[in-house]
Structure 1
């Protein structure tokens, strides 16, 4: 009798976890895909990274629940960034030509104004520490404190990197005749 009750509670917990995962996928998949596309410059790799992100999140959901004050969006973004970094460290990725793949991947995101597409491409060319803060702040709409938590840096470092990245983008945009 007791064993059956334990089995039912385990089944209920699994159903709850699957429901939570489904909710996260519906809520955050598109944002995470955009983040991963800019990091990896490849649609297929970005889709794989997003799937791996959700798999890692599902496996470590108990650790997320133990963290106080963290939002699922912040936590999933951190997992996605770390997953993309792992992909970028592979030997294959370091030798891949990503310029054409990036434009193709961005075009698959849907309707975008040419300026928006060009800006996303310019963001992808920034050094990683600047690219991260721009993506999280403007595309993921996180606060500076949430970005600091995701990247493991201070809030003032986030502010500094945002200002530097915006300066770099302004120079790039002016050089291309957009401003």
Structure 2
């Protein structure tokens, strides 16, 4: 956690409790909707995506008093969402055989307005990519993060992000061309 600006048990300067609470509230107002959209790239169910984001904010609020760099808190929060989504999918694979298929969500007004056939093809192709390529592409182009912000969120080097983005774009183009 040290790399994302969160303290271990050292005596470094951290946010006071009121400032930490204000940071969580501000992040919720600024990022919650985008984080639900981000989580939807990793999980099929909108309710599950909302639950993952809620859990991410709970985890952030528990440790917000330990944050020493508020500028990096959004990246820390995104990494929590991505990791929770991975865990959700890993657990889901085990229980998938024992539950009925999920009911397709009713699209929200925002999703309905933005939905097109090409978008669903792109999302399906994204879900078929290797995990790290998908993570890098979604964070880079869907959330419009810089290469450095993606690297911070995923805890990898900027060169790794560039490599994964390049390979992911190539694989995405190939996949979409095959469907046409």
TM-score, normalized by length of structure 2? 0.77
2:175 corresponds to which of 150, 172, 175: 172
CA–CA separation in structure 2 for the residues paired with 1:160 and 1:19: 37
Aligned position for 1:48: 51
Residues 105, 152 of structure 1: CA spacing in aligned structure 2 closer, same or farther, 3 A cutoff? farther
Q: Does 1:60 align with 2:63?
A: yes
2:34 corresponds to which of 28, 31, 34: 31
Structure 1 runs not aligned, ≥5 long: 1-12
Higher relative contact order (CA 8 A, sep 6+): 2
CA–CA separation in structure 2 for the residues paired with 1:146 and 1:101: 34
Q: Measure how far apart 1:67 and its partner are.
A: 3.8
Kindly provide the CA deviation profile for residues 118-152 of structure 1, in whole angstroms up to 9, marking residues without a partner as x. 21222122111111001110111111111112212
CA–CA separation in structure 2 for the residues paired with 1:78 and 1:166: 22
SS at match of 1:137: helix
Residues 93, 30 of structure 1: CA spacing in aligned structure 2 closer, same or farther, 3 A cutoff? farther
CA–CA separation in structure 2 for the residues paired with 1:94 and 1:105: 22
* Cα RMSD after superposing both structures: 2.5
Kindly provide the CA deviation profile for residues 12-54 of structure 1, in whole angstroms up to 9, marking residues without a partner as x. x655544432221121111111111111222121111000001
Q: Measure how far apart 1:89 and its partner are.
A: 2.5
Residues 20, 170 of structure 1: CA spacing in aligned structure 2 closer, same or farther, 3 A cutoff? same
Residues 87, 62 of structure 1: CA spacing in aligned structure 2 closer, same or farther, 3 A cutoff? same
Higher gyration radius (CA): 1
SS at match of 1:71: helix
Residues 106, 50 of structure 1: CA spacing in aligned structure 2 closer, same or farther, 3 A cutoff? farther
TM-score, normalized by length of structure 1? 0.77
Q: Does 1:84 align with 2:85?
A: yes
Q: How many residues align?
A: 159
Structure 2 runs not aligned, ≥5 long: 1-15
Structure in which a larger fraction of residues adopt helix: 1
CA–CA separation in structure 1 for the residues paired with 2:168 and 2:127: 11
